[in-house]
Amino acid sequence: MNHTRTCTEQWITPLRPVLPDLTDRHIARLARLEADLTEILAATPQAGAPASVRLLAVRRRLAERVRTDHSSGNNTRETKAMAEALAGFVCGFHDLDLRDAVGPGHGRMILRHGTEQVRRRWRVRLTGGDLVGIAATERHGGSRLQEITTRASVRPGGGWWINGEKCWVSRLTESAAFVVFFKNPDDKITAAVVEARAPGLERGPVAPSGLGGWDWGTLALTDVQVSEDDLLGGNGGGLAVFRQHFAAFRPLVAATALGTAAGAHTQVAATLTARAATGLLPRLRDTTLVTLGRTHAEINAALLSAIAAARLTASTSPHADLWSREVKAHAVDTAHRALQELPLLVGAGGFRADSALSKARADIGGLLYADGIHDSLLRSAGRTLTSPPPAEIPRLRSAEDAENPRHTAAA
């Protein structure tokens, strides 16, 4: 989207008094990310090339810049989580398709749950910009992970063969590897990292109505080999991997979606300001001003909730899982509502196929499903809220705990 004031200036800087650990250095890094995104997008030709080629180039170029940036400082886990959520917000502000422009994304599952050797290898690959997809959903419904039918069987000579079919898989052709969820021979859900070029993978692309930046579709697995080293979270540990990953990932999705709504808000407010200034509109109607004020408040309130959820996960709070489920649903619903209302304020121009507002509205629709369908998330949150509290709510393991076992022992 084309904005006059940057996202950092307009949306993030005003939050500083309520985010006391958001320092000048963080603001400078976010502003640099924004400048880098603008520069790289302008330098990466759009015409002719599929969107995903451009997005992957942006991810790799940003990875290069992050590698040579030594100004990250000594942040706590909670501050790092806040900074990541705000980086997601900045990316979403420019285009929801940039949701994987920075960070390990689904590769975080490998960094947290892989064997030491696998983690070491993937740290290098992810730092270089490799992208990781997740293959969990099946035809019977993504909201019921426990019922997946993709299975492992014992392979003569060692390891397993995996057979089954996944659907609605994003980053289908761009991923360097997938984290695949399946049932082990003992019927326990297990996760493994599978290289994208592994024999036995067959892709069936499907055209999406939004979020078209990455390819999307089915991933069939026929006798795909995995060994013990490829398992994440160990044999039968798939549900814990899924739960821990999404406790951290959903607040990022929430912040990114809100960034897209903020981008639309900035664009609509700028258009209306220009129309009033040039006399095209004699004055701005009260209903328009009310919508701008209300959506501004709603986006900010939901962003602060998303940052709170990210911090809860980073601090291994026992409430993190509940918050991240609720916040993903609330934030994406908030962004979706704003994207239904805001384009109406600028008229039919917002309905043009080449309008950034049209694209944002279509893209946000995909996030109503991806990374957790909302009625399922809120229903499970309600169930948690009406269950008798366990003697002790289990704490989530943090990324640092997983990557540094000595840290866990000390905690």
| Candidate segments 78-86, 238-246, 322-330, 369-377, binder of ligand FAD by CB under 6 A | 369-377
Number of residues near ligand FAD (by CB under 6 A): 22
Within 238-355, where are the H helices?
238-277, 286-314, 320-341
As measured in angstroms, the least distance from the Cβ of 89 to ligand FAD is 19
SS3 219: strand
Note whether 175 and 129 are within 8 A (CB): no
Closest residue to ligand FAD using C-beta atoms: 142
x-or-dash string of contact with ligand FAD, 215-234, rule CB under 6 A: -x------------------
366 binds ligand FAD (CB under 6 A): yes
375 binds ligand FAD (CB under 6 A): yes
x-or-dash string of contact with ligand FAD, 313-352, rule CB under 6 A: ----------------------------------------
Tokens for 172, please give them: 């289908």
For ligand FAD, the closer of residues 11 and 122 by Cβ is: 122
177 binds ligand FAD (CB under 6 A): no
Scan residues 243-262 and list those touching ligand FAD (CB under 6 A): none
- CA distance readout (Å), 221 to 132, 135, 192, 214: 17, 10, 13, 20
User: How many Å apart are CA 322 and CA 380, to the nearest integer?
Assistant: 8
What type of residue is 277? A
Note whether 90 and 31 are within 8 A (CB): no
- CA distance readout (Å), 194 to 134, 216, 221: 10, 17, 10
The torsion region of residue 371 among left (phi > 0), alpha (psi -120 to 50) and beta comes to left
169 binds ligand FAD (CB under 6 A): yes
170 binds ligand FAD (CB under 6 A): yes
Among 19, 118, 281, 373, indicate the residue that binds ligand FAD (CB under 6 A): 373
Query: Interface with ligand FAD by CB under 6 A: which residues?
Result: 133-137, 141-144, 166, 168-170, 208, 211, 216, 366, 369-370, 373, 375-376
